[in-house]
């Protein structure tokens, strides 16, 4: 059965935390439109988010979800803590929200996610111009920040997602050989993830030949594999995504790539050691960069050495349109319960190519790798 994955207690905890943050900001009501944040508060997991959804969270009283009327069955089956107002396809979610809220908001301050992937310009313009609120605040990132630290329930889903990622990655590795069809490798990967309890991930899996390794977000084609194959795969359980990456060599691995493999693994473990409660994202990045510098690559830089992961809806497993990265210029504090796609990439270095990445959980005593697939090198 495809149902709401969260307990009542978990949903109540999240709503209470949301309302505490609203009070700090002087908000009387918050309007959420990002799929990840709506799912976080009410547990609605479907692909209907291609159409606008608006979740109205008042400082007190019932939550209200507005979206297409045709979604009534899934909402009835999954949503326990919000009322539903549906609209026909001859009107919009904004039309219905304006009708529902006008007359209620005089003197109130409302919050809106101005940079949500679920909020078109026209919808936001209509809401802010036609609802008679006293004032508006941009609450972009308010819930996203809250979602970075995972509860015990969420960590259970992350562990299950990591197992699905391992299953898909190992199946892809097993399927790769000289002349293997890209479509067969992808099919085996997806089948293994699904059999391991996985559901469709936020995006990917990304399975590419070496010639397209630098293409960040493309996947398999209609060709055959003859050289190196890039794998970046996320298992997904209850919308929680656990990505990992491996590089597979066909026939042999060059001395240069083998050297980069050892450097990549060494740097990954240095990053793992640097990832501690209370340090900043830049401290973690510097742990990785210090190994790079010691290896005689002082000019080699990455935009990050990983990023936070968790809830993700298509087309992303990063939690929305933004990436919360472990960057050299980020002061984000690392906290117990955060989960990361931790990466150690050495591509286009001029001295060989290799990379490895895993989903990692930060516990009170340090970082734990949730994936079990060997780091490699994998030579088929």
Q: How many CB atoms lie within 10 A of CB 291?
A: 19
Determine the pLDDT at residue 176. 98
Extract the tokens encoding 279.
């340090």
Bridge partner residues of 355 (DSSP): 345
Rounded mean pLDDT, 102-129: 95
Residues with Cβ < 8 Å from 91, sequence gap 6 or more? none
List Cα–Cα distances, 119 to 47, 202, 280, in angstroms. 16, 19, 31
Chain mean position to CA 226: 31
Contact 167, 198 (CB under 8 A): yes
The per-residue pLDDT for range 335-354, each reduced to its tens digit, is 999 999 999 999 877 888 99
**First-to-final CA distance of the chain:** 39
Rounded mean pLDDT, 174-187: 98
The per-residue pLDDT for range 220-245, each reduced to its tens digit, is 999 999 999 999 999 999 999 999 99
Rounded mean pLDDT, 371-377: 97
The per-residue pLDDT for range 131-165, each reduced to its tens digit, is 999 999 999 999 999 999 999 999 999 999 999 99
Determine the pLDDT at residue 220. 96
pLDDT band per the 50, 70, 90 thresholds, residue 53: very high
3-state secondary structure at position 89:
coil
Rounded mean pLDDT, 358-372: 98
């Amino acid at each position: 059965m495809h149902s709401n994955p969260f307990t009542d207690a978990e949903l109540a905890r999240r709503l209470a935390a949301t309302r505490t943050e609203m009070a700090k900001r002087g908000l009387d009501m918050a309007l959420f439109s990002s799929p990840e944040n709506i799912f976080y508060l009410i547990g609605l997991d479907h692909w209907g988010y291609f159409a606008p959804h608006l979740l109205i969270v008042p400082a007190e009283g019932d939550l209200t979800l507005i979206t297409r009327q045709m979604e009534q069955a899934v909402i009835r089956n999954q949503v326990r803590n919000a009322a539903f107002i549906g609209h026909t396809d001859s009107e919009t979610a904004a039309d219905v929200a304006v009708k529902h809220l006008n007359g209620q908001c005089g003197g109130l301050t409302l919050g809106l996610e101005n940079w949500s992937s679920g909020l078109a310009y026209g919808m936001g313009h209509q809401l802010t111009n036609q609802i008679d609120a006293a004032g508006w605040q941009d609450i972009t990132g308010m819930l996203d920040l809250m979602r970075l630290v995972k509860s015990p329930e969420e960590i259970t889903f992350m562990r299950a997602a990591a197992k699905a990622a391992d299953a898909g990655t190992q199946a892809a590795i097993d399927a790769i050989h000289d002349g293997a069809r890209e479509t067969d490798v992808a099919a085996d990967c997806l089948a293994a993830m699904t059999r391991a309890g996985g559901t469709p991930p936020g995006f990917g899996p990304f399975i590419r030949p070496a010639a397209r390794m630098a293409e960040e977000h493309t996947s398999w084609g209609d060709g055959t594999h003859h050289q190196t194959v890039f794998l970046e795969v996320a298992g997904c359980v209850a919308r929680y995504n656990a990505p990992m990456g491996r590089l597979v060599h066909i026939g042999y691995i060059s001395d240069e790539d083998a050297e980069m493999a050892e450097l990549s693994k060494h740097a990954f473990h240095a990053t793992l050691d640097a990832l501690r409660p209370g340090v900043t994202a830049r401290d973690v990045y510097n742990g990785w960069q210090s190994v790079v510098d010691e290896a005689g690559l002082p000019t080699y830089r990455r935009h990050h050495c990983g990023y936070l992961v968790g809830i993700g809806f298509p087309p992303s497993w990063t939690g929305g349109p933004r990436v919360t990265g472990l960057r050299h210029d980020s002061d984000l504090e690392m906290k117990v319960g955060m989960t990361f796609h931790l990466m150690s990439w050495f591509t286009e270095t001029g001295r060989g190519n290799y990379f490895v990445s895993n989903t990692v959980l930060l516990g009170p005593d340090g970082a734990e790798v949730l994936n079990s697939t060997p780091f490699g090198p994998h030579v088929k």
